[in-house]
Structure 1
Amino acid sequence: MPLRRRAALLVAAASTLTALTTSVASASPPPAGLYGAADPTYDGVWRQSYALLALHTADVTPAPAAVDWLTAQQCADGGFPSFRADTAKPCAPKAEDTNATGIAVQALAALGGHGPAVAKATGWLKGVQNPDGGWSYNPGGASDPDSTAVVIGALKAAGTDPGGATSKTGHTPYDALRGFQFGCAARPAERGAFGYPMNGKLSVNAKATADAVRGARGAGFVVSAPTERQAAAPDCATSKNAYATLGPDAFADAAAAYLTAQLTAGGDHLTALTPGADQPTPDYGTTADAVVALAAGGQLAPARAAYAWLTANSATWAHANPAALSQLVLAAYATGNDPRKASGADFVRQLTNLGPAPVARATASASPTRSSAPATKQKKDGEDGSSSTSTWLIVGVFFVASVGVGFLLSGRKRQRG
């Protein structure tokens, strides 16, 4: 998540907490068709696209209202903003961002039947590519590995070879990614990691590394793991320029080796140090990102170990959070696990409970991976993910405010939620 979006979400969380403690009953309902009840100002398109991707992967047909909500967010020039409160009005100048557009492309391409919208959005993305071959969160800014990875996934989903998407100066997205990796000149423990650029300096960043690994594989948020294989970093003892000429798969392997080491050191999860804390706390979202990134390259053993940790420890983080639940569903898919049977939880049902009821199955013999519970009952099952009480909402806001601030300062140290 970029710093700008994280900061905005934390402000929104604080505002939400104030409103809840004043009068929970006065909270306005979310826009029709949207997943989740939180203010969509900063993450509406992001979480909606994530939810549609996850449900589609789980063989659940989203309600037409949910898909319509997303398509209505697209601007006339093809880009998507974080959220448009009034879709009858033209988009505000410079409202679109590459992250919202990139994930929306992936969702619409996966659902099918949205060719014109996908083509228009990918055209917009190609039009805001930076000379170095990468993308920034907002067009016109310096490229960053996270945004570049999101766009690579969008291009791939739309049927375009990311390696052929060259900038006006002839650079590819993979050229841009390579520029963010720490090589032989870095400390041994940092080699292979990716950094996020801030104030002209790169700092090792686990989130940037996970995103860059996925991007270097040419993968989006939906990953079907290949055959299991090991990943290794190049030998700097042999050549001090060992990283300089690596191709995408090779520098992804080096980054995957770094992520694996970090997961092992953290007890199968990644951590971040929150302000004022003496000990790091779990970084659930980046751990889920790492699961998908590692699975994309066939590093299934560490990916499955991290997924197992998530299923046992992420209930508070994921409760009533459509983006988080979507990450868990996609992490399950990437590692060959069933998201409906995760340590007694059903991530798919929890997610469907947060939005409009999905399209009903045509027959009782339809795919067994779809939820067969009636939509009316799903909406009442608070234990399966519906936020039916103000207590859970307040707990969730406190959690975001306390843990999210730490990730803001020590997880990304940069400008995206």
Structure 2
Amino acid sequence: MNEQELRRLLTVSVEDVLPSQPATASWDRARRTRRTRRAVGAVALAVALVGGGTVAALRPPGDPPPDQSVAPTVEPTHAGPVARVPTDLPFPPDPLARLTNPATVRLSERPVQRALALFQPLDEEYHEDGPVRVLGNDGVVRSLDVVTLAPTRDVGGNQAPAVKPGVLSPDGRSAAFAQPNELIMVDLTTAAVRRVPLDGYLELVVWASDRVLVGGDRRTYAVDRDTGKANEIDVSPWDMIAPDPAAGREAALIEVIGEQGGLTLRSRTAREGTIRSEQRISGDALPVPYQVHEFYGRGWLHGERLARAAWITSSEMQGAEGVVVLDARTGAVAHVLDVGRDRWKGCCEVLGWDNKGAVLLRLQPNGVARWHPETGEVTGVLRDLPGVVALAG
């Protein structure tokens, strides 16, 4: 077989095969073989391989080979946007579990570099049961000894602990406490205390970049974190969503308002609080019979996602407890955590997001849980800790 006959045979063999297919690669190999002046028998073997490769390329594909990949995969624990708290909740090790330990040092003696959490122990009647604990990023639990906090009060005389979700700054360096007629700000890195006199019954605080928003039923103040200068702003501390710390000082202020049939996502300008837009909150993506009736507690932004506790209709009952994740751009409900039956009313306030995109929530009577909305995985953080927990952002 001479070279011209070989070329003709190869041309016939690959004339219906695209240039990117194996036949072309085999032709190149054959040319390299000829350059090495191998025997004619070796060339003939190459031709046979080309023919076999062409037939294989043109044959209709059969069943694909089994996937032998050993790469890890994330297996959702729920089929769709609804997840449930497992009956047997696992409790892997977690740094926040140190909050169960008593304080071993006073903050005035050993300030923190950054606090991970605050905890106010409470007794069965919901009264303070010991000093506020400060968990530092060094794992040491300190007592907040530089200030004595009074319960917050409303115009009706109802009282609540001064420590609430949201009082700890996102960077863990400061804490702000609403008090009757004043805001108390504590620098946890120096143990310094600043008091800002303000009129009214103040109950809630929200950290918003370089300001602290503090207010109650009748008015809200925006207090500069560095100077203490305050001015009134037209937002509700009850409906206000804690901004994402990464969003910057000019990020819009978001409120979630209304009840079932009229739940609304409202956007306001960062500085003046002027309304920019309103859109209805939609649960169209939820399976029947799930619905969201009303939100409660502090809500938290993480990028374009918003997490807040709510009363829902579940597969078992109306008025069930749940946690909802919304798309903060459109108001669409993306995920719901059904916490199940036999929970306290208002059991499951959201405490914030962790740095891996999981929602941390109170799981009453006295626990804390972590929920990954994308996978539906729910794990325990704290088993039994009677009191109020506030986390850094």
Bigger Rg, which one: 2
Q: TM-score, normalised by structure 1?
A: 0.29
Larger strand proportion of the pair: 2
Between 1 and 2, higher relative CO (CA 8 Å, sep ≥ 6) is seen in 1
